[in-house]
Chain A
Amino acid sequence: MKPFPTNYAIGPWIMFTVMLTASSCVTAEISEKALWENEFEQIQRGISTKNDILSLLGPPRAILKKEDLQNVDIFSTKDYWFMVQAIEKFKPFSHVEKFTEKEMIYYYTSTKVQTLPTYFYWIERGEKNAFVTHLWVLINETSGIVTDFSFRKEERTSRTGDY
């Protein structure tokens, strides 16, 4: 039997191989306040109030009233821009006419980021997958009652630093 080659410093190479294998599989999940589906279950159309929503989820990222759609300046705000883009993309409410002067939309969003793969944890991360949840709550301003709500989930892929 051949003797084990001791004239090479194989220790560091074994360690390198193990760490490369391991670190290439590392995922990191980072989330801001998540919008959990069990929270959505607590929202009831025609019953929940504006106050219930604020207690449950805190202040919305943006509020949209019908008259805001005529106000171009408001869309310079990032959150408004995102909200309107998301409304345009997902059309959360089946009937556009539902959104009347008496109603407003609370918009919530949360992002969960998953980083994979990691070539070396301490050097550089590769692509990121972001799981974005959008929630729109339609509220009657006069009664304060939630008339409808809708949520969508989307996955976005980006390189490090995009989110």
Chain B
Amino acid sequence: MGHDFKVGESLSDKDLEKIQPGRTTKQEVLEMFGPPLGIARRGKVLKVPSAIQGKMGWEEIQSETFFELFSTKHTLTNQHIIYYYFSTEASGIGGIFLFFGKESTDIHVDKLWFLINEQTAIVEDYIFRDQE
């Protein structure tokens, strides 16, 4: 017995090499990846859909936790925003045997953050993480 679900397009399929920090624009990111799942602004709480444990729900995230990702390399100001993209795919392997059954779900999560200067509309940096 198996089950699968998928939220969003797999981000690893996208050509991230095309992104050039300091040159790529916000508009180009929108054309390549579509609208972000969330836009983080300093001091704000971000509410984003999540698919934790195979169920859709909402997750509240302090924007500051995203800004931390860029804090060591950049001097962050209130003009910075972060575009947050996320995709998840789950595949379940299950079985019912005569006296024992076990089901497990592998969840693959891709997350992508773009640090954008709103004043210049330039992507200053990005971070991609894929988690199994």
How many whole Å from A142's CB to the nearest CB in chain B?
Answer: 13
B1/A30 in contact, CB under 8 A: no
Flag B50-61 by CB within 8 Å of A: 1 or 0 each: 001110000011
A60 interface neighbour in B68, B72, B99, B111, Cβ under 8 Å:
B68
Flag B111-126 by CB within 8 Å of A: 1 or 0 each: 1000000000000000
B103/A27 in contact, CB under 8 A: yes
Report chain B residues within 8 Å CB of A63. 62, 64-65, 68
B98/A18 in contact, CB under 8 A: yes
The binding surface of chain A is classed by DSSP as: mixed
Flag B75-105 by CB within 8 Å of A: 1 or 0 each: 0000000000000000000101111111111
Within 8 A of B (CB), among A20-39: 21-23, 25-33
Report chain A residues within 8 Å CB of B1. 121
B101/A80 in contact, CB under 8 A: no
Q: Show the binding face of A for B, using Cβ within 8 Å.
A: 18-19, 21-23, 25-33, 49-51, 54, 58-63, 77-80, 106, 111, 113, 118, 121, 144, 163
Nearest 6 interchain pairs by C-beta: A26-B101, A28-B103, A59-B65, A22-B96, A30-B53, A32-B52
Q: Show the binding face of B for A, using Cβ within 8 Å.
A: 1, 45, 52-54, 60-62, 64-66, 68-69, 71-72, 94, 96-105, 107, 109, 111, 129, 131
